[in-house]
Amino acid sequence: MLELTGLAGGYGQAAVVRPTDLTVRGGEITALIGRNGAGKTTLLRTVFGLADRHAGRVTLDGHDVPPGRPELLARAGATLMPEDRGVFPALTVAENLRLARRRDTEPAVDPYTVFPLLTDRAGQQAGTLSGGQKQQLGIARAILAGRTLIAVDELTQGLQPSVVADVLEALGAIAAAGTAVLLVDQHAGALLDHSRHVVAMEAGRVVLDAPNGPGLRDRLDDILAVR
Could you tell me whether strands 149-152 and 197-202 are parallel, antiparallel, or unpaired per DSSP bridges? unpaired
Q: Which domain holds residue 163?
A: 2-83+146-218
Q: Examine residue 166 and state whether it is found in any structural domain, yes or no.
A: yes
Q: What is the pLDDT of residues 32-50, one digit of tens each?
A: 999 999 999 999 999 999 9
pTM for the model stands at 0.93
Q: What is the pLDDT of residue 226?
A: 56
Q: Examine residue 99 and state whether it is found in any structural domain, yes or no.
A: no
Class of residue 67 by CB neighbours under 10 A (exposed 0-12, middle 13-18, buried 19+): middle
Q: What is the pLDDT of residue 105?
A: 81
Q: Examine residue 167 and state whether it is found in any structural domain, yes or no.
A: yes
Is the CB of residue 145 less than 8 Å from the CB of residue 79? Answer: yes
Total domains present in the chain: 1
> How is residue 110 annotated by DSSP?
-
More confident site: 69 or 126: 126
Sign of CA dihedral 33, 34, 37, 39: negative
Q: What is the pLDDT of residues 80-137, one digit of tens each?
A: 999 889 999 999 999 999 999 988 888 899 999 999 999 999 999 999 999 999 999 9
The CATH number of the domain holding residue 164 is 3.40.50.300
Query: What does R_g of the chain's alpha carbons equal in angstroms?
Result: 17
**CA distance from start to end of the chain:** 35
Q: Examine residue 132 and state whether it is found in any structural domain, yes or no.
A: no
Q: Examine residue 207 and state whether it is found in any structural domain, yes or no.
A: yes
As a whole-number percent, the residues of the chain with pLDDT over 90 amount to 84
